[in-house]
Amino acid sequence: MTNPQDLDGPMAAWWADMLARKTDESAWVGVLSGHNVEIVSHAWRPHDVDRVGNVSGAIPWHACALGHAIVANLNAAAQEALLAVPAHPLTGFTVTDPHALRQALAMTRDRGYAVEAQTAALGDAGLAAPVLGDSGRCVGAIGIVGATDRLLSVERQHILAHAVCATARALSPEPSEGRTTHLR
């Protein structure tokens, strides 16, 4: 994968499906488009009988794990440009303060993946990791979305995060010398 456009294709869809099967959660692939994350591929949660329609559209970057995973891996100037635009809440849990968002991005970068709890939709959470291009620059993110109690339980969160990070690495080309992707 070298460009954001590469994430909108059969390979990314295949990896999203594999991640959904491995985690038993819905998987999304997204790319940054302006101030939003555009969902370019998804896979439904296996065994979910409430599948309705297609997941598409865009979510404000500050309100989803995909957005945090992407923006945390952009250069400082690009981050500041996004933080300069006022963020609007989608729920009472959405973080909109630029200082708090900077802290969340630093934590995401340090941890290697993003965590979001009810910031885009009440009752839902997300875990996401960046997908890096050939140059080591972030071209998008892959993650899972599901019920907060399932994704963020003490028993499952680390296991799920490991699966998300492993899938993001699989979508990324081999790391160049000196570049590491880690999970804490």
**Mean pLDDT of the 62-91 span:** 97
Is 179's pLDDT higher than 70? no
pLDDT of residue 8: 63
Question: What pLDDT, in 10s, does the model give residues 104-149?
Answer: 999 999 999 999 999 999 999 999 999 998 888 999 999 999 999 9
Interval 48-72: pLDDT, tens:
655 554 555 899 999 999 999 999 9
Q: What is the pLDDT of residue 10?
A: 77
pLDDT value at residue 12: 84
The CATH number of 4-46+56-171 is 3.30.450.40
Asked if the model's pLDDT at residue 4 lies above 60, the reply is: no
Distance CA 77, CA 60 (A): 19
Does the pLDDT value for residue 80 go beyond 80? Answer: yes
Beta bridge partners of 126: 116, 145
Quick one: pLDDT band at residue 102, thresholds 50, 70, 90?
very high
pLDDT band for 172, please (50, 70, 90 cuts): confident
How far is CA 1 from its chain centroid?
A: 16
How do the domains of the chain map onto residue ranges?
4-46+56-171
